[in-house]
Structure formats: C-alpha cells, structure tokens
C-alpha cells in the first residue's frame, strides 16, 4: 500500500514552537489561523506559499495579544521540529510490512525536505511531495492527485492528524487514516475515515 503522510502535527510535533510564539495557547491560535487562511485561499481558487501564510499568521496572532515574534526564529523553528515519539517506530514498522511511504505537505518542498531531514525521518520515506509543486494547497484535489499520478495503480491511504486533510483526501479518491493525536476528532458531517488510530504503530497493525 502507498502510505501518504501529512507532515506538520501528523509526523512533527509543533509543541516545540511554544517558546517562539508565546506558549501553547498562542501556538494553537497561530496554527489555527494559518489553516483558516489555507482553507480560505483554497476555497476561493487561489494559491499562496504556506511559509508566507504561516509567517503572516504568527505576526497577526502575536499582535492580537500585544506581542511580537521573530519571523527568522519561527522559520528556523519550523525547520527543526522534532518527530512525535511514535513516528519513527511506526514508519519503521510500516516499511518492514512492505508499504511505500511518502510525505505530502503544504509546506514548500525545500522546507519539507529540511524538516524531515532534521527530524531524522527522511531515510524512512521513499519520496517527499509538496503542494507547491502543483500550485494548490491541500485540501484541494491537485496535491493528492500529484501523488497518485506518481504511483499509478497503487492503493493509497492518506495519514493525517487534520480532519480537513482527511476530507480532502477522501474527495480525491484516497483511503484515509485519521491519527487521533490529543484534541483530534473526525470532521462532523463527513464520511468516517477508513482507519482511525492514536499512534503510527497502532495504524501499522491495521494496514
């Protein structure tokens, strides 16, 4: 099976950004604003660089609380996020089981490559894909179709800790696996994910 992984929050732990953006609540507000922007840009048919979106959202979220952020430090922090503890053993188990593992992220390709290399995950992945390559952000269909086109005929499952990413993949024709990290739930009113697991080793046991 072709296992397609989202990167930020699914594989990499954004909690490491807390000291750079003002704590966990402000980090959640920042990333939520970034995703809201992504969804709005995508729904209106446009495209913006996700790194730019994340930077603008960090500035705005901080300003709402009378704070300032150092965008250079935010960018550096995003490139050096650690993997969640379950990720490396989960990816290793999936590889042992014969699955093909790729990443698909809204981050620019150079950023994604740096992130996964710095987190020590790049050697466990067969390929890294970015929405930047098709000029459309997930959950638009083009990023998912890009991956399917690279592996024609493969049965594919999108693994993500984001309900909107699961919905996008479902609409694009992929099977889906929702990784229920703390606070993650299925999107109300949407079809249930094909698989649900709390950790990647657990998911490996289902595939």
pLDDT averaged over consecutive 10-residue blocks of the chain (207 residues)?
98 93 91 95 94 92 90 90 97 97 97 96 98 97 98 96 97 97 91 96 95
pLDDT for position 10: 98
pLDDT for position 71: 87
Asked whether 173 and 147 are in contact (CB, 8 A), the reply is no
Nearest to 207 by CA among 24, 60, 197: 197
List the beta bridge partners of residue 158. Answer: 4, 176
pLDDT for position 69: 87
Helices 24-43 & 50-63 angle (0-180, nearest 10)? 130
Can you point out the beta strands (E) in the chain?
A: 2-5, 100-105, 127-130, 156-160, 175-179, 195-197
Q: Which helix (H) or strand (E) holds 157?
A: strand 156-160
d(CA 30, CA 18): 10
Nearest to 146 by CA among 190, 111, 193, 106: 106
d(CA 124, CA 119): 11
List the beta bridge partners of residue 105. Answer: 130
Asked whether 71 and 62 are in contact (CB, 8 A), the reply is no
Can you point out the beta strands (E) in 12-126?
A: 100-105
Q: Is 63 exposed, middle or buried (CB count within 10 Å of its CB: 0-12, 13-18, 19+)?
A: exposed
SS3 197: strand
pLDDT for position 20: 86
């Amino acid at each position: 099976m072709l296992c397609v992984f989202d990167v930020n929050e699914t594989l990499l732990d954004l909690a490491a950004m807390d000291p750079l953006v003002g704590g966990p609540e402000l980090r959640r507000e920042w990333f939520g604003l970034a995703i809201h922007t992504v969804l709005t840009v995508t729904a209106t048919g446009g495209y913006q660089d996700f790194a730019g979106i994340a930077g603008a959202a960090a500035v705005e979220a901080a300003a709402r609380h009378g704070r300032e952020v150092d965008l250079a430090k935010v960018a550096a922090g995003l490139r050096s996020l650690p993997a969640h503890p379950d990720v490396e053993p989960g990816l290793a188990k999936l590889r042992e089981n014969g699955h093909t593992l790729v990443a698909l992220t809204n981050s620019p390709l150079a950023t994604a490559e740096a992130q996964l290399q710095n987190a020590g995950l790049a050697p466990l992945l067969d390929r890294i894909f970015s929405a930047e390559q098709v000029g459309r952000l997930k959950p638009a269909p083009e990023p998912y179709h890009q991956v399917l086109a690279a592996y024609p005929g493969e049965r594919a499952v999108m693994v993500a800790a984001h309900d909107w990413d699961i919905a996008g993949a479902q609409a694009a024709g992929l099977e889906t696996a929702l990784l229920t990290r703390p606070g993650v739930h299925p999107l109300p009113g949407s079809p249930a994910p094909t698989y649900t697991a709390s950790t990647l080793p657990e998911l490996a046991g289902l595939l």
